[in-house]
Amino acid sequence: MHQIETKCVQSGYSPENSQPRTLPIYQSTTYKYDDAAALGKLFDLEADGHMYTRISNPTVAAVEAKISDLEGGVGAMLTSSGQAASFMAIFNICSQGQNFISMNNIYGGTINLFSVTLKRMGIEVRYARDDMSDEEMDALFDENTRLVFGETIANPALTVLDIERMAGIAHKHAVPLIVDNTFATACLCRPFEFGADIVTHSTSKYMDGHANVLGGCIIDGGTFDWEKAGKYPELTGPDESYHGVVYTKQFGKAAYITKARVQLMRDFGCTPQPMAAYLLNLGLETLHLRTRRHSENALAVARFLSEQEKILWVNYPLLEGGKYHDLAKKYLPDGASGVVSFGVRGGREAAMRLMNALKLAQIVVHVADARTCVLHPASTTHRQLTDAQLEASGIGPEFIRFSVGIENADDIIADLKQALEQI
């Protein structure tokens, strides 16, 4: 078993004699068979192999194998975006008339998906706060609850999920814990080691790392006992769309991820292109180096900001004295990603002036790539909200999300310094 750094570089693809050394791009929708019976076996899920690129492709499969190895899972499926991964991870085991529990401080795009679009499908989300007692959490569950969902490091709230505690609560109610590990990545935290059952990612962030390619991923830890839980007939009973296949019987520990692929990916088709998987793999090869550098730079920036008169507050999970510092020490000992948030004295106007004065840090909607960038949620992603609504969602008019890149930390700090002098 290799260390994580070696897995980033080497896992997923090992060429045989005189084959290409680097992962080839199999730009083909289609595959060839020696006879009709061989193809029939694939369609019956009785043989391994590729049948159509909507469902699987050799380039995509190599990157899936690498990410599964990084997280320590039994299998993974890439999707065309992080949104598609979040949707499929839930919909795979939660149907009309059922509900699930989600932490309330997750990514805004995921909130929309859960609160608006899943609701239209008859699926109810129940939001939990991390300051709730176990009894308050227990009260959210009923016999139709199918899973618990949270983010390792929430975007942009930067709270840290107590994965062990949430896994304990979920398992007490015989449901799995799904963790969106986008900001941490497997290099900084591996949720399966703390009891999570399924991990999701937006690979568009640090895993690609260069703001080049959208993507998502679902990884199955293979740990959850669907049969014992006794309430997941979609996994433990026959699938009529494969004339009666029972996923837990035929695929054992990989039942969940196999169903996600052969049923949901077949039907929804939010498949990554082979070229996208190839670009993602290039990013993954340096992920271990970048996550360290992002985190070191972010901690230096957070410390600098916390000493500035014109800054009201700074939030970075590993910053000394913060509310989530103890959880960050436990779950993110090697770094807490490159994202820092802070409030500027003087509210919305001062925040906008600071942003406009920055030179190295550029204004973009994205986070988590190699280049330092900055966003003022109140005037962009949260623009439609009033100041009162912003305050209620924890994103005040003074709130700035600062995504620290892998440049030299002194240059990033110098940029902030000159901008602060101008306001």
Ligand X SMILES: *Cc1c(COP(=O)(O)O)cnc(C)c1O
Binding site for ligand X (CB under 6 A): 81-83, 86, 107, 109-110, 151, 155, 180, 182, 202, 204-205, 214, 216
**Which is nearer to ligand X, 24 or 109 (by Cβ)?**
109
CB 82, min distance to ligand X, A: 2
* CA distance readout (Å), 114 to 7, 198, 249, 365: 34, 17, 31, 21
CB 374, min distance to ligand X, A: 16
Which residue's Cβ lies closest to ligand X?
Answer: 82
**Which is nearer to ligand X, 137 or 178 (by Cβ)?**
178
Asked if 7 and 69 touch (Cβ cutoff 8 Å), the reply is yes
In 3D space, the residue among 103, 94, 170 whose CA is nearest the CA of residue 138 turns out to be: 170
**Which is nearer to ligand X, 110 or 185 (by Cβ)?**
110
**Which is nearer to ligand X, 179 or 235 (by Cβ)?**
179
CB 358, min distance to ligand X, A: 22
C-beta atoms surrounding 24 within 10 Å: 15
Q: Please give the backbone phi and psi of residue 108, each rounded to the nearest 5 degrees, phi first.
A: -60, -40
**Which is nearer to ligand X, 159 or 202 (by Cβ)?**
202
CB 117, min distance to ligand X, A: 13
256 vs 50: CA distance, rounded Å: 19
CB 153, min distance to ligand X, A: 8
**What letter would DSSP give residue 19?**
S
Q: Name the token pair of 83.
A: 């949104």
CB 216, min distance to ligand X, A: 5
Q: Please give the backbone phi and psi of residue 240, each rounded to the nearest 5 degrees, phi first.
A: -65, -25
In 3D space, the residue among 60, 44, 1, 73 whose CA is nearest the CA of residue 253 turns out to be: 73
Asked if 280 and 203 touch (Cβ cutoff 8 Å), the reply is yes
**Which is nearer to ligand X, 10 or 112 (by Cβ)?**
112
CB 88, min distance to ligand X, A: 12
- Starting at the edge strand that comes first in sequence, how are the strands of the sheet with 311-315 ordered? 311-315, 339-344, 399-403, 373-375, 362-363
**Which is nearer to ligand X, 173 or 401 (by Cβ)?**
401
